[in-house]
Amino acid sequence: MKTYKMSNVSPDMSFLEMMDVLNSKIISEGKEDPVAFDHDCREGICGMCSMFINGQAHGPDRLVTTCQLHMRKFKDGDTIVVEPFRANAFPVIKDLVVDRSAFDRIQQAGGFISINTSGNTQDANSIPIEKDDADKSFDAATCIGCGACVASCKNASAMLFVSAKVSQYALLPQGKVESKQRVLNMVKQMDDEGFGNCTNTGACEVECPKGISLKNVARMNSEYLSSTLKP
Amino acid sequence: MFKLFNSSLVKKYAMAISGLFLILFLFQHFTINLTSVFSEKVFNSISHFMGNNPIVQFILQPILIFGVVFHFVMGMVLDYQNRKSRSVKYYYVKGSSNSSWMSRNMILSGIVVLLFMFLHFYDFWIPEMNYKYVEVNPLDPDRYYFEMTHKFESPIRVSLYSFSFLFLGLHLLHGFNSSFQSVGVNNKYILSIRGLTKLFAIGVPLGFVFIALFHFTNSI
């Protein structure tokens, strides 16, 4: 644990801008390496900025990623505790940077729809989809895979992420064809990666920057049950 | 079969189904105990039936004991695995900001309930097994009410029971509706299930406390 003292932090700065200022200061002093942290889009889409701030994934604000968190959320003189997302399945690479490729492997295990690309592919817009299902699927698809669910869960469970990916496809006609194998494969990969078990605390739903609902977890549970029981 | 239990979701179903089974048993136990407040005769006759019916004794009772042991063992295994999934702990976690105390401490409330069950077995189940199967005493359909009320003459026992029921209530407050979520039910009925959870998790343990206090005050 290392403590840095910051001054002249504008309340309008984003948290990452504050980190940039900190790193500029460290670099100009030339005594040590800057603090490594992940970032990319800085507009709440990429899900790279994985920081556990004052005991919460992405900090004290709701429905935002760390890059959308502003310094006005803290008081002058506060000590802010910043940690990397911690889970065995997310090994720390350096400082605040973690390896979340476990999520990529879960996606590769079934988070896709196989289509015929021979030129006879049916136009997706020509397939009727009930509005309610389309909305639910879209809501699930807004998951950016940031890992806040894993970081917040006391068991380091990835069920919210996996359930969002399962639901996203299971609700659409194109995804139903492979739904049985998808859920079985993705859950198996999740277990192989060493994530913990879900105990329905609901912390993941609260801390998710995209508001992914626990209803997706129930949907995945039901999908998995029916897929396991199906001959 | 054991390979099936490698799946985190199968373990989740197993916890949920065994929990719902125990909830059903708890409700049945509560309604039987409640009769002791209104009628000694009714309580004695139900207890005699439960204690001597071969289906209850040799089929349902072993299933119940298996259910209890399974739920606790599985809970412990899951807790151990969950702790292992984050070997480096956070320096600072603000758990109260995103989840209830009950949901984060199911293992603690579960252990208190488990300890209570040892006491409960020591108080009632072991003497009952001893009476029927070791000493092989003659049938006495009128002994149950006295045996039960006699136990609640002790203020220490009543306090221990009441303390345990508090933790049972906390365990149920999360466990009841969580079981439904685990088996995939989170639909239009979820609000009713949450309401039923509160009613059951507060009402049943409070009812048990009331029964214990009722017999204690009657004994003074």
Could you say which of A52, A187, A194 has the minimum Cβ distance to residue B9? A187
Residue B156 lies in a domain: yes
Residue B68 lies in a domain: yes
- Sequence spans of domains, chain A: 15-23+35-94, 101-229
Considering the domain delimited by A101-229, tell me its CATH architecture: Orthogonal Bundle (1.10)
Which residues in chain A are closer than 8 Å to B94, comparing Cβ atoms? Answer: 54-56
pLDDT-derived band of residue B2, with 50, 70 and 90 as boundaries? low
| CATH, range A15-23+35-94 | 3.10.20.30
Tens digits of per-residue pLDDT, A122-163? 888 899 999 999 999 999 999 999 999 999 999 999 999 999
Burial class (CB in 10 A: 0-12, 13-18, 19+), A157: buried
Do residue B92 and residue A217 have CB atoms under 8 angstroms apart?
Answer: no
Contact B59, B44 (CB under 8 A): no
List the domain range (segments joined by +) for residue B11. 4-84+102-219
State the Cα–Cα distance between residues A194 and B81, nearest whole angstrom: 9
Q: How far is A206 from chain B (nearest CA, A)?
A: 6
- State the CATH number of the domain containing residue B196: 1.20.1300.10
State the Cα–Cα distance between residues A63 and A8, nearest whole angstrom: 27
Q: How far is B70 from chain A (nearest CA, A)?
A: 17
Answer yes or no: is the ipTM higher than 0.90: yes
Residue B37 lies in a domain: yes
Do residue B9 and residue A224 have CB atoms under 8 angstroms apart?
Answer: yes
Tens digits of per-residue pLDDT, A29-85? 999 999 999 999 999 999 999 999 999 999 999 999 999 999 999 999 999 999 999
Q: How far is B96 from chain A (nearest CA, A)?
A: 9
Residue B61 lies in a domain: yes
Chain A residues 183-202 within an 8 A CB cutoff of chain B:
187-188, 190-191, 194-202
Assign A165 to helix, strand or coil.
Answer: helix
Chain A residues 8-37 within an 8 A CB cutoff of chain B:
none
Tens digits of per-residue pLDDT, B171-204? 999 999 999 999 998 888 899 999 999 999 999 9
Residue B95 lies in a domain: no
Q: Taking all residues of chain B, what is their mean pLDDT, rounded to a whole number?
A: 95
Q: What is the mean pLDDT of residues B73-86?
A: 96
Domain count, chain B: 1
Tens digits of per-residue pLDDT, B46-72? 999 999 999 999 999 999 999 999 999
SS3 content of chain A, % helix, strand, coil (to 5): 45, 5, 50
Residue B91 lies in a domain: no
Contact A180, A227 (CB under 8 A): yes
State the Cα–Cα distance between residues A94 and A37, nearest whole angstrom: 8
Task: Please report the sign of the dihedral spanned by the C-alpha atoms of residue A92, residue A95, residue A100, residue A101.
Answer: negative
For the CA atoms of A186, A192, A195, A201, the dihedral, rounded to the nearest 10 degrees, stands at 50
Q: What angle do CA B146, B147, B148 make, to 5 degrees?
A: 90
Which residues are registered as beta bridge partners of A92? A98
Count CA atoms closer than 13 A to B23's CA, side-chain side: 23
Mutation target to probe the B interface, by most B beta carbons within 10 A, among A160, A193, A197, A222 is A197
Do residue B8 and residue A197 have CB atoms under 8 angstroms apart?
Answer: yes
Locate the chain B residue with the closest alpha carbon to A55.
B93
Which residues in chain B are closer than 8 Å to A214, comparing Cβ atoms? Answer: 181, 186
Q: Does the CB of A1 have a partner CB in chain B at under 8 Å?
A: yes
Could you say which of A1, A156, A200 has the minimum Cβ distance to residue B86? A156
Predicted pLDDT of residue B1: 54
Which residues in chain B are closer than 8 Å to A56, comparing Cβ atoms? Answer: 94, 97-98
- Helix A215-229 × helix A179-192 angle, to 10°: 110
Residue B193 lies in a domain: yes
Locate the chain B residue with the closest alpha carbon to A90.
B86
Q: How far is B103 from chain A (nearest CA, A)?
A: 5
Which residues in chain B are closer than 8 Å to A198, comparing Cβ atoms? Answer: 8, 12, 182
